[in-house]
Amino acid sequence: MLEIKDFPKHIGQVTDWIKEYYSTIRERKVKSEAGPGDIYNLIPPGIPQESVDFDQILEQFKSIVVPGMTHWQHPNFHAYFPANGSIESLFAEFITATLGAQCMIWDTSPAAAELEERMMEWLRDILGIPKSWTGVIQDTASSATLVALITARERATNFESNENGTPQNLRVYSSSQTHSSIEKAMGVAGMGRKNLVSIGVDDQQAMIPSELESAIISDLEGGKKPCAVVVTIGTTSTLAVDPLEQIARICEKYKVWCHVDAAYAGSALILPEYGQWMKGIEVADSFVFNPHKWLFTHFDCSVYFIKNQEELVRCFSILPAYLKTNVLGQVNDYRDWGIPLGRRFRALKLWFVLQSYGLQGLQETLRKHIQLADYLYQKLKDLPNLKMICPPRLNGVFFHYNHDEGKEMSNKITSEIHQKINATNQVYLTHTVVNDIGVIRVICGQTYLEKADIDKTIDIISRNWNHTHETIRTDVN
Ligand SMILES: Cc1ncc(COP(=O)(O)O)c(C=O)c1O
C-alpha cells in the first residue's frame, strides 16, 4: 500500500514506461492479438489478501495488460474514428487525476466551472457558433445527443414529459446514415426507437431535405408530433454532410428542434474552408462535437452547445437541499446541464491543448491530416479494379474492389483484402457498407501522423491488393 511519501520513488518508473511507450509505438502491432478470455484468465479470480508490491503491479501491467491493448495512438491506426490525444492533454490528465476533483457544481471547484465556461466560449467562437449560445462538456456525443433529444421532447410536450411520462407520438428524423446513438437515445428518452424516422440520402449520402419535409407533413396528417431532426456533419460511415441550412429552415417552419451531430467532423469547422457547412447554424437548436476524436484531447471530452440554456437547465435541474449553495444563479452549476451529477475536470486538458497548439497549430495539424489522406487517395486510386466511392472527405478515404460479376463478388474480394491487410497487424482499417457494397475506410487522423506512416499504409494496402488481384486473375485463367 503506497503512501504519499512513496510517490517520488515510483513516479519515475511510470514516466519511464510512458516514455518508452511513446518512443516505440510505431514498432508495436496496432491491434492486440489476444483471443477471447486470454487476458481474463491471466488475472487471479479473487482479490489478494495482502498488499502486492507496486513494482510487481507495474510488471503485471506490462506483461498482462499491454499485450491485450489495441494501440489507439499508433499512427497506423486508421480504424473507426480516432480517439487521439497529445502530450499536452496527457499532462493535463495527469494533473487532473492528481487534483482528483469532482466538479459537479461551481462550489465544488470554482476554477473547473469557470475554465469550462471560458473553453466553451473559445471553441464556440472558432467553430462559428453564434455568440449567444452556451456550451458544456459532456462525456460523449451519445450523452449530448440524448440530452438534446430529452430537451426537444420537453419543449414539444410543454415541459410535461419529465413529470408525467412521455407520449408515444413524438417523432424524430435523421438520415439513413445517422449514428446508432440517435436510435439508442430514442429508447432511453422514452420516445421509442420505432419513432425514429429514417430519411433517404442522395448519391453523396447526405439527407434529402424534400424527403424530410414530406415525412414531417405525413406525420402531422397522421396525428403524430414532429419533435426533432438530427443533422449529421460527417457521418460515421463515409463523412457525408447533411445540408444544415435547408434542414434547419424546415425545422423552423414546423417548429421542430434541430440538433447537429458533428461528433467527428466538428473539428474541421475551425478551418475556414469548411465554414460553409455551418451555414444555418443560427437557426438550429443544439450542436455536439468531440475534441476527443480529432482535436488532440484525450477521451473523454465531448462539447455540447445549446441556443437556449434555460430550456436545458429546466429539463435537468433537480435541487435537493444538500446541493443548494449561496451562489446559486450567479454561476454555472454544470450538474444541471446534463445527466450525471458527478463530473470530471475535463476543461483542463482542453485548455492545455488549445493554448499549446494555438488556433494556427490546430489548423495546421488538421490540414496536414487532410493532405495526407489526399496523398493516400492519389496513390491508391489506380490500383486494379479499385473503386473509390467518393473523393477523399476530410481525412477519410473510402474504396472497394469492383468485380465485373457484381456486388456479391466485389464484397467477397473486398472483405478478403481487408482481412489480409489487418492480418499484417501493421495497420488497422475498418469497413462500412454503402448501398449494399462493402467498403474499406482509411481515416488518417492520429495526432503525430507523418508522411512515412502513410507511405507504410499505402505499401501494405497496395501489396495485398495487387496480390489478391493477381490471384483472382490466375484462378480465372
Ligand atoms: C457521427 C457520430 N455521432 C456520434 C458518435 C458517438 O460518439 P461517442 O462515442 O462520443 O458517443 C459517433 C462515433 O463515432 C459518430 O461518428
Share of the chain above pLDDT 90, in %: 93
Average pLDDT over residues 87-94: 97
Q: Is the CB of 290 under 6 A from ligand 1?
A: yes
174 Cβ inside 6 Å of ligand 1: no
Higher pLDDT, 320 or 97: 97
pLDDT higher than threshold 70 for residue 477: no
Q: How confident is the model at residue 330 (pLDDT cuts 50, 70, 90)?
A: confident
Sign of the dihedral defined by the CA atoms of residues 376, 379, 381, 386, in that order: negative
Average pLDDT, the chain: 95
What is the DSSP code string of 137-190?
Answer: EES-HHHHHHHHHHHHHHHHTTT-HHHH---TTEEEEEETT--HHHHHHHHHTT
Ligand 1 atom with least separation from CA of 178: 1
Averaged pLDDT, 394-399: 97
Q: Is the CB of 447 under 6 A from ligand 1?
A: no
Q: What does the pLDDT look like over 115-161, one tens digit per residue?
A: 999 999 999 999 999 999 999 999 999 999 999 999 999 999 999 99
List CB contacts of 459: < 8 A, sequence separation 6 or more. none
Q: How far is CA 383 from the centre of its chain?
A: 31
Q: State how far the Cα of 425 lies from the Cα of 423, in Å rounded to an integer.
A: 5
pLDDT at 40: 96
Taking the centre of ligand 1 as the mean of its atom positions, its distance from the CA of residue 264, in whole angstroms, is 7
349 lines ligand 1 (CB under 6 A): no
| Three-state DSSP class for residue 263 | coil
CB atoms within 10 A of CB 111: 14
Nearest atom (ligand 1) to Cα of 262: 1
Average pLDDT of the residues in 165-170: 95
Q: What are the φ and ψ backbone dihedral angles of 334, each rounded to 5 degrees?
A: -70, -10
Enumerate residues 6+ apart whose C-beta is below 8 A from 88: 296, 349, 352, 353, 356, 357
Question: What are the cell numbers at 159?
Answer: 415541459
Q: Give per-residue pLDDT as tens, 48-76.
A: 999 999 999 999 999 999 999 999 999 99
Is the distance from the beta carbon of residue 441 to the nearest atom of ligand 1 less than 6 Å? no
CA of 50 to the centre of ligand 1 (A): 42
Cα-based angle 113, 115, 117 (whole degrees, multiple of 5) = 70
Top mutation candidate among 261, 289, 346, 395 for ligand 1, by most atoms within 8 Å of CB: 261
Which is it for strands 134-138 and 302-306: parallel, antiparallel or unpaired?
A: antiparallel
Residue 386's contacts (CB-CB under 8 Å, 6 or more residues apart) are: 380, 399, 400, 401, 402, 465
**Mean pLDDT of the region 453-469:** 96
Q: What is the pTM of this model?
A: 0.94
Say yes or no: CB of residue 232 within 6 Å of ligand 1.
yes
Q: Is 71 in the pocket of ligand 1 (CB under 6 A)?
A: no
> Relative to the CA of 302, which ligand 1 atom is closest?
10
Tell me the average pLDDT across 276-288: 97
User: What per-residue string of b and e applies to 31-61 under the rule 16 or more CB within 10 Å gives b?
Assistant: bbeeeeeeeeeeeeeeeeeeeeeeeeeeeee
Q: Would you state the pLDDT for residue 476?
A: 61
Q: Residue 31: what pLDDT?
A: 95
Residues 6 or more apart from 284 whose CB is under 8 A from it? Answer: 231, 244, 248, 251, 258, 259, 260, 307
- Give CA–CA dist 422/442, Å, rounded: 12
140 CB under 6 A from ligand 1?
A: yes
Nearest-atom index, ligand 1, CA of 139: 10
Cell matching residue 280 = 444555418
Ligand 1 in reach of 181 Cβ (< 6 A): yes
Q: How far is the CA of 235 from the centre of ligand 1 (A)?
A: 9
Task: Please calculate the CA angle 38-39-45 and round it to the nearest 5 degrees.
Answer: 105
Over 80: is that where the pLDDT of 328 sits? no
Helix (H, G, I), strand (E, B) or coil at 383: coil
170-183 tens-digit pLDDT: 999 999 999 999 99
Provide CB contacts within 8 A for 148, sequence distance 6+: 228, 230, 257, 259, 285, 286, 288, 304, 306
Determine what percent of the chain is predicted with pLDDT higher than 70: 99
Least confident segment among 267-271, 315-319, 439-443: 315-319
**The ligand 1 atom nearest the CA atom of 142:** 11
- pLDDT tens digits along 363-379: 999 999 999 999 999 99
Q: How far apart are CA 119 and CA 113, in angstroms?
A: 10
